[in-house]
Amino acid sequence: MKSQPLVTLFVLVLVFAHVGIAQTSPTPEPVAKPSPSVPPTDYDLRSAVKIPMRDGVELNATLYLPKSPAASAARTPAIFTLTPYISDSYHA
């Protein structure tokens, strides 16, 4: 009956393995990331803005600037298109 200690050892290993798996810490719930700020959808359209070049030529530009409070001194992105031609027909 040498198999009795071997069976007992096998059962103990299975029990301790099961207890070890059952006691694992639960995974923490994911933390919600803050959503990025929504960019403004309103914009100011300034057409026929003259921008001087180094050679003295002035190009007409159409500026698309986000509407922001006048007190805001923060730098904001802007989109502009340059054309040496009539700028009224160049923007959408």
Per-residue pLDDT of 60-80, as tens digits, reads 888 888 776 654 556 777 777
Q: pLDDT averaged over the chain?
A: 72
Low-confidence residues of the chain, pLDDT below 50? 71
Q: Measured between alpha carbons, how far is 44 from 90 in angstroms, rounded to an integer?
A: 16
Given this model, what pLDDT does residue 73 score? 57
Given this model, what pLDDT does residue 33 score? 77
Beta carbons within 8 Å of 29's beta carbon, 6+ residues apart: none
For residues 34-73, one letter each, b for 16 or more C-beta atoms within 10 angstroms of the residue's C-beta and e for the rest, the string is: eeeeeeeeeeeeeeeeeeeeeeeeeebbbbbeeeeeeeee
Give the predicted TM-score (pTM) of the model.
0.40
Question: How far does Cα 25 stand from its chain's mean position?
Answer: 32
